[in-house]
A and B are shown apart, each in its own frame.
Chain A
Amino acid sequence: MGGFNQHSGTALPLNQANVDTDQIIPKQFLTGVTRAGYGKHLFHDWRYLDLHEQEPNPDFVLNQPQYQGASILLARENFGCGSSREHAPWALADFGFRVIIATSFADIFYGNCINNQLLPVSLDPVAMDALFAEVEKAPDTVIEVDLPQQCVRIGSTEYAFEIAAHHKHNLLKGLDAIGQTLEHEATIAAFESAQPAWLK
């Protein structure tokens, strides 16, 4: 997996709080045994008027012509709440999103994004208001997200964001997390041999 550095793109304004994983990818699409192909089902219930995904809902922002090609998703607080299904970030990434900018994220979803090279950026409500206003006014506005500098640029305005050092490192390097841990095999084995008998 390649690393994440900077990304520039237009944004899709999904102006809602508590967007849960059941909305991002409903249960009927969780029967797969691979990681691929979930993008076409992203936001299924909101995106389509029918069960067979033939009739796009014209009122849903993702279907509106001015936002086609967006690679940055804007949302409000508690994005990705609910289930641990990694199908949610798989669907977002497969659809073409590289960055999600929201007021806040649910914990499991946030970690799942990091593990899939999808950058979750948390900004305060005032900054989110400004981003929504700009993108709703001018949908072709390009937003620049700079991970090394930890900032979001829109026009001449910059918003700094926080990210844990190890998450940043993993995103930048695109490393194989399991391979890294396996280098500590001897330490893990030593830990196991010191466990009490009923846990061994």
Chain B
Amino acid sequence: MPKTLYDKIWQAHSVSHLEGDTLLYIDRHLIHEVTSPQAFAGLAEKQRKVRRPDKTFATMDHSISTRSLALDACGPANRLQLQTLADNCEQHGITLYPVGHQKQGIVHVMGPELGLIQPGMTVVCGDSHTATHGAFGALAFGIGTSQVEHVLATQTLKQSKARSMLVDVQGTLPQGVTAKDIVLAIIGEIGHAGATGHVIEYAGEAIRNLSMEERMTICNMSIEAGAKAGLIAPDQTTFDYLKGREYAPTESQWDAAVAYWKTLYSDADAEFDTVVTLNAADIAPQVTWGTNPGQVTGINQPVPDPASMQDAIERDSAIKALKYMDLQPGQALTDIAVNHVFIGSCTNSRIEDLRAAAKIARQGKVASGVTAIVVPGSAAVKQQAEAEALDKIFIDAGFEWRLPGCSMCLGMNDDLLGPGDRCASTSNRNFEGRQGRGARTHLVSPAMAAAAALTGHFTDVRTFQG
């Protein structure tokens, strides 16, 4: 029987079947300070050990400062949480890349950088953007803290198999349109809950042509369509990215691994429960106008009119969103002024993202009244960007150049917006209050964010690149 890529990874990790569940083996467990302390406390309560500390890797990313390396820079509660992670890792023999370490970074940026994520693996983390790692053809998904404890203790998870969805993006991307625009267009098409209960496999010429970093941007936002995970079949792009990275297989094991990885694709006649097709040529640079990532449209479109929406729930959500966002139906997106710009997050903080933003930033100065920050995704990204003098381009243009972390994507540190602030953000969620109570978030690509910083309002980045 023909199999999907998801079927193949699932079967290769099925330890046993229990009461309707499958016990799934986990190859990599990434942990961070926010969703792990209660899991370690649970282990301690029952005097349980971490089964495979060698398959568990930790970093500090969510509640750290982007201005200081001090653990207490964001107050005593954050410090306690960070110190608790350090203590738990030491006690259980888990490798930790703490603040200030050369390999520290946002968990979904540093993991791939180190070669920790490889095709065909199962990867979990107490963070919904774990879907990022599907870019490698790994089955990667976010879990809650009870499940973090379960994986720490057993290196397995009880799981039910999800349905499958194929998202086929045909053709080639127009100039100025990026991976972020593809994934926002997909979410706009299928809706904020359009892939609930599904694992998405992204395929088609436009996906195949993407770099690994661009593929990570796509898979990262799978959860914003409600998907359990997102997958892209591995290919030469994947193997070239992995070769020589610290935790990638070496020598004779490399050849054996590649031979296996080459079997990881959906068979030609494999059936998917749902199939969605998009044409890359139809995608314009995207801007969200609402309070979930599915409320999005092209920069050349007006803010939609809820009155034109057929579905009552969708209409009510749009009315509520426009009220929160303080926008009017029919308003041109290019007329919306911003006073903040955030370039960063596990969606868009890698070196290619910073290069794309810098290419725009070098063409002008941050507009008066706009505060713009650039937060690299990891210490390694920061170092590379500085080696390429991207930091100078940003600073000369009036951007702030910060230390790596999750930062203003969720504002667990002091990178927070105030009521009524409006931000062009390269992050992944535009929920009410996400970047600060009463603040308004518009999701865009790094180039679009940089363009908004220079002009002070949303601007079609293609007018910069002409």
Show the binding face of A for B, using Cβ within 8 Å: 16-18, 20, 22-23, 26-28, 30-35, 45, 51, 76-78, 81-86, 89, 104, 106-108, 111-112, 115-116, 164-166, 169, 176-182, 184, 187-188, 191-192, 196-199
Contacts and interface: CB of A to CB of B under 8 A. Distances in A.
B292 interface: yes
Interface in B152-179: 153-156, 158, 160, 162
A82 B144 CA distance: 12
Interface in B204-252: 223, 226, 228, 249
A20 to B, nearest CB: 5
Contacts of A116: 146
Contacts of B146: 86, 112, 115-116, 177
Nearest to B143: A84
Given A83-B128, A108-B142, A198-B253, 17 more contacts: A17-B316, A22-B434, A26-B437, A27-B410, A27-B411, A30-B412, A78-B193, A78-B196, A78-B226, A107-B196, A178-B153, A181-B156, A181-B158, A184-B15, A188-B15, A188-B25, A192-B155
A177 B150 contact: yes
A81 B77 contact: no
B251 to A, nearest CB: 10
B44 to A, nearest CB: 12
Interface residues of B, number: 72
Interface stretch (B16-24, B274-282, B360-368): B16-24
Contacts of A197: 253, 256
Nearest to A191: B15
B95 interface: no
B35 interface: yes
B437 A45 contact: yes
Contacts of B118: 198
B257 A198 contact: yes
Contacts of A83: 127-128, 142, 410
B347 to A, nearest CB: 14
B104 interface: no
B48 interface: yes
B81 A31 contact: yes
Interface string B66-78: 0000000000011
A45 B432 contact: yes
Interface in B288-341: 292, 313, 316-317, 320
B196 A22 contact: no
A198 B119 CA distance: 12
A21 B29 CA distance: 23
B373 to A, nearest CB: 18
Contact of B147 (A27, A115, A169, A191): A115
7 contacts: A23-B433, A31-B80, A45-B437, A78-B226, A108-B142, A108-B223, A181-B158
B25 A81 contact: no
A177 B149 CA distance: 10
Contacts of A78: 192-193, 196, 226
Given A84-B128, A187-B16, A108 B144 contact: yes
Given A33-B41, A107-B228, A178-B149, A84 B35 contact: yes
B434 A84 contact: no
B260 interface: yes
Interface in B184-198: 192-193, 196-197
B84 A33 contact: yes
Nearest to A31: B77
Contacts of A166: 18-21, 158, 160
B56 interface: no
A81 B46 contact: no
A59 to B, nearest CB: 13
Given A181-B150, A196-B260, A35 B433 contact: no
A142 to B, nearest CB: 27
